[in-house]
Structures are given as structure tokens and as C-alpha cells.
Amino acid sequence: MKRAALGLALACAVVSCKKHRAPPVQEVWDEEPVPEEAEAIGNLAPPWSAPVRGQLDNGLLTFWLHEADAPALHLRLLVPTGARAKPPSTEACAAIAEYLRWELVRRTKKYDADVSLVHAPDRIELAVSARGRDLGGILGTLGVVLAARSPAGLDAARDRLASTLDDDRADELAAEAVLDALLGRGDRIDGGRLRDLDRADLVAAWERLSDPRDHVLLVHAGTTAEAAKSDLRRLASHWRGLGRRPLQSEAVKRLRGDAPEPPKTRLLADPAAPLTIVRTKAQGSAHIVIGRVVATPNARARSLARVAQRVAQEESDVSIAFAGDAAVVLVHAPVGGKPEKKLRELVDRLSTFATTRQPRQRLFQAVQLWLGARVVEASLAGEDWTALLSSAIDLADRDADIAAALARDAQHMLAVDADALLAWTKTWLDPRRGTPGWVWAVAGASEAEVRELGRVTATR
């Protein structure tokens, strides 16, 4: 069996060697920040200058944040997982992410670096923090890991990840069902499907996810981009994509998939959304999740959505995730001992919030708390500005807007008009009379609870 596996690995390696590397692309550097953007950033965002944007000749896009005399280095690689046609499965993406994390941890021990992995909407984020003096070594290590063809450690990463999976939780299963109905995909890893991935599946996923022409690299360092050009060019010389294909030169477009087509349903109103029942052996009480996609075509719409979520969260467990022109809103609640009552209360509470004009002072306090928490979180994370820069990409319409996106978002939030917010919440957050697009699911319910829920709404 071991011999057969080794033979397959060698065959994959030979095939990969025959594939032609991508031709170099034009190296581009934007050294001059726009003065208006730099001024806006200074108002309500971290004290950074506009990042230097570069495109290496392997197609990698870089955004370099320079903080004079900073002793630490923070590097964040954004790897899109859902922005291309027919992306790898959630399980394959997770296995690749685990391989990258493991290899970076192993290879950067000599630099005493910290490596972390974040799964964001439609992308993986690999973050490395180290001493600024080790910049060249960290970039070189990154290149070595990503330049590999058919890495031998992919199978071990799959098995390692499978061994760490927890038992199914009702809240995660319900959220997964809602995301699947809204987006056609979720982010939960299925243990069975993960273990079924063979060597060929993993290699195919690796080739798609390790192409620098899809990636975005964020760097926060005491070294300037100009001083680091030789290290970046060395990185590009080792890490190349395969074959020819069109190059997307905008980071915001690399990282975003197409906006989904929302369902035409409401909650407890026509056209009514059936309640999805997720069968599970999960322990504990049943859990319900409701959700929808909201349109966020511009900065003002994104700011309205964020303010609404922050205020609603004071009363319910409400989250929101942005990705350019669309955002996903999820509301969580335990079902408890009276599922019929809980279901109606949840819809009533959200509907009441959506149709109530909020006092201006309440909005202002909620926004102040949120903005303060955002900056404090970055400070507690070791002044890693790359995490905030990643958020700025999600809020921007184009790369030229990324530098000032956080400041503009803050300005829009602080200036939100109570009547404008009420109009927005009536449109998007009223599950009964607002714009259709709602779905819901419950997981962990007993047969008796399912029968009771069926008296409130249709189930499936």
C-alpha cells in the first residue's frame, strides 16, 4: 500500500514538472499615496500612511504599510478560495490551509515567529509575526513553502486536520444550512468528505490555491517597500504560477466571488420560507439560525449595514460579514423548551427592531464602542495593522479606495441619520414585510419539537 502511494506521489510530481511556468508579468509599484487619502486615514483609522501597492512579476499583489522604527514584522497572505469558477471543496481548502500553517510553523521556528490561520469569507488568511530584522528570511521561507510542486505533506495535513474535528454542534449545523441556502456553499468541514480526499484531489487543490496570480500579500514593517524590493523579487523568482491565463490586477476583485441570487422568501409571511430541519446527533438544546444576503453596493450602504448590526446586537445575537457588493446577516438563537414560542419571538423581535426608529444618541454610542473596539483589538494583537488592512479590502470598491476605507467607513457610521437607518432596516431586516430573501434552519430538535415547529411554519 505504501509503495502504491509513493508511486502515485512520484507520478504527480513528474506530471507537474512537465507543466509550463507562467510567463512573467509587468512589475508595477505605486509609491505615491494620494494626499486626500492620507489625510482621511489620519482622522479615524490607525496612524498609517497609505500603503505602497506593488505587483511583482509573478503576479502577486502586495500592499506595504511602513511604520518607521517598528521592531516587529507582520505579514498576512490572503488566499482566495471562492472567487474562481469551480473552486476546490471546503474540505480541500481546509486541508491546504492546514498544510501551509504547519509548514510555516515548522520552517520559521528559527526566527521565533508566530503563525496563525484565519478562515474568512471566500479566503484563507495566513498571518506571520516576527522580528523586523528577519524580513528577508520570512519572505524566503514563504516562497519556499508556496513554490513546492505536489508537496509530500498534503496527506499528513489532511489526516491531522481530520483528527482535530469536533463533534457536530447544533448552532454550526444550522448556520451551515442557512449559508448553503443563501450562497450555495458553507464553511463547515465534513469529516467524511475530508477523509475521502485522495492524493490527486489534494494536488489539484494545491495547484489552484498556490498560484501567486490569485494572492494578495499585506506587510506591516519598519522597513520600507523600496528597501525590501530585492527580497520581494527573490520571492517572485522562486514562486511562480503554471500556464497562461488572464491576470486580475485589482485585489478587491481577486478576493471576491459573484454576489449570490437571494431567495424570494420571507419569514412567517408570504412568500413563506420553509424551515429547514437539520437532523443531528448533537448534544444539547436545539438551535435556530435565520439569515439573508443584503446589498451593499457602496460605502454608505456598508456603513448603514454595520450600524444596524451593532445596534441589533444589543438585543439579539446578530453577525454580519462583508464582501464588497453583498453582505451576509445571520441571527442565532437557542430554541429552548418552547420552540413554537421561541420561533415567533425571534421573528417578532427582529421585525420590531427593523421598524423602530433608533434614537440618535443610541446610534452614536454604538458606533463609538465599535470603532474603539476595532482599534483596541488591533492594539492587543501586537499592533498588527495587516488585520485591519484586510478588513479595509472588504470595505473598498476598488484598490484605490483601500487605504482610506476604514476612515471613510468610520465617518459614514458616525454621520448616520436615524431616519436613513430606519429606511434601511425596514427594507433589509424586516423578515415579514421587507425585501424578500430570508431563509432559516434549526438543528438538534427532537421529533416532538419538529412537530411543534411544523404548527408554526412549513418544514423540510
- For residue 213, what is the domain's CATH number? 3.30.830.10
CA 455 to chain centre: 37
Tens-place pLDDT, residues 198-228: 999 999 999 999 999 999 999 999 999 999 9
pLDDT classification of 5: cutoffs 50, 70, 90 = very low
Question: CA angle at residue 434 from 300 to 354, to 5 degrees?
Answer: 70
The residue with greater pLDDT, 443 or 43, is 443
Choosing from 219, 254, 289, the residue where a domain stops is: 254
Say if residue 223 is in the same domain as residue 363. no
Pairing between β-strand 439-443 and β-strand 275-278 as defined by DSSP bridges: parallel
Asked if the structure places residue 264 within a domain, the reply is no
CA–CA distance, 164 with 151 (Å, rounded to integer):
21
Residues 286, 343, single domain; the answer is yes
Report how far residue 217's alpha carbon sits from residue 77's, in angstroms, rounded to the nearest whole number: 5
CB 156 within 8 A of CB 137: no
- The number of distinct structural domains making up the chain is 2
Question: What pLDDT does 30 receive?
Answer: 65
- On whether the CB atoms of residues 215 and 75 are closer than 8 A, the answer is no
pLDDT over 50 (residue 13): no
Question: Is 379 found in the same domain as 297?
Answer: yes
Three-state DSSP at 49 gives: coil
Q: Report the number of secondary-structure helices (H) and strands (E) in the chain.
A: 17, 12
Residue 270 lies in a domain: no
293 and 250 together in one domain: no
Mean pLDDT of 333-358: 91
Confidence check: pLDDT of 84 > 80:
no
Range of the domain at 186: 2-254
pTM across the whole model: 0.84
